[in-house]
A = this chain, B = another copy of it.
Amino acid sequence: MRYVNVGIVGLGRLGKQHAENLVHRIPFCNLIAVCSISEQEVNEFIKPWNVPYGYTNYDDMLANEELDAVFIASPSSYHGEQIIKALEKGLHVFCEKPLSLYLSEAERVQQIVQRHPDQVFMLGFMRRYDHSYQTAKKKIEQGAIGDPIFIRCHGLDPASQMDNFLSFAKRNYSGGIFLDMAVHDFDLARWFLNAEPKETWAIGGGYARPEFEELNDAETGAAMVKFEQNKMGMFVASRNCAHGYHIETEIIGTKGSLRIGTIPEKNQVAIMQESGVIHECVTGFLERFEHAYLTEAEEFINCILMNQHPEVTVGDGVEATRLGYACKESFELERLISVTSYRQSC
């Protein structure tokens, strides 16, 4: 029985979660190396979990000949370069979203991935692996709502994380709300509608926190997108959601509609008190998509073992980035933007 030897780069909140999954929850997978620029993070992880190798330099980790695959969970700005290096070392690559914060880089990564057809490349659009989203996709394929013609996506991050984000964004280029956050929803839209975006208008502002406007970014933004076949998309992204982490999707078809996550309940408890009936909400992506993060990693390891490719392709990453980029431009230039034109210019 063959095992896949994996190394991970990035030990932030999500990186650590991936690492813990890889170390003991994914069958036929050995996490043999972790890498972070923080030596402390490396040591705190490898000791209790008996991971043999720790690195503070990505190139050093790639030099480890025992590795079969890498998991990239580093900051977004490193993704492109780290993917390319790993592919050129012959390794299978799993990379967290986004593929890149720059459309041109995303397209370059795509070309290089395509040059390594025998290596598994997977992008972390974990929502596609969530039970509820899987069920929705299957229902649509079975015809439960006819032809899907409209999608609405709410992607709202908890207000409690807004200060953290702002202090990060003041020091780093985050990509802005449409590229950094809505990109997950753009992927869902393409997946569910089975159509490419043609045109978009994006608006927004820094309502509670005008600092967002100084960063040329939006605290809360909205985009409307016209897709092929006249299909429609509406997207709301916010970093200021009082009740928690709210990921919601509505798909209207010609014969019915589906909603996923309308109320982002934390669990099955209803509290009945003087103020009414209360459902507490999930507080973040690790809580909401705990299971999906596990499933996508299982899929990655399985694909390696089975010589298959995952459903999520590098092209999906490029297209979601393209739409994110168009929305960012529309928001900045305050006009309708043709997404198609970005495609033709490549």
Chain A residues at the B interface, C-beta cutoff of 8 Å: 1, 23-27, 48-50, 131-132, 135-136, 139, 144-147, 149-150, 152, 159, 201, 203-205, 207-208, 220, 222-224, 226, 230, 232, 234, 236, 238, 240-244, 246, 252, 254-263, 265-281, 335-336
Contact = CB atoms under 8 A, between A and B. Distances in A.
Given A149-B220, A263-B277, A144 B336 contact: no
A52 to B, nearest CB: 12
Contact of A135 (B234, B242, B252, B269): B269
A26 to B, nearest CB: 7
A144 B271 contact: yes
Contacts of A273: 144-145, 242-243, 255-256
9 contacts: A132-B268, A139-B269, A139-B271, A152-B152, A203-B230, A205-B230, A236-B252, A259-B270, A336-B336
A275 B278 contact: yes
Given A208-B254, A244-B276, 11 more contacts: A23-B27, A131-B267, A145-B273, A149-B207, A152-B152, A207-B254, A224-B234, A238-B252, A261-B268, A276-B278, A277-B281
Nearest to A280: B276
Copy number in the complex reads 4
A242 B272 contact: yes
Given A268-B260, A269-B135, A277 B243 contact: yes
Contacts of A26: 24
Contact of A234 (B25, B132, B222, B277): B222
Can you list the 7 inter-chain pairs with the closest CB atoms, starting with the nearest? A205-B230, A224-B224, A132-B268, A208-B254, A132-B267, A276-B280, A243-B272
A100 B48 CA distance: 39
Contacts of A234: 152, 222, 224, 234, 236
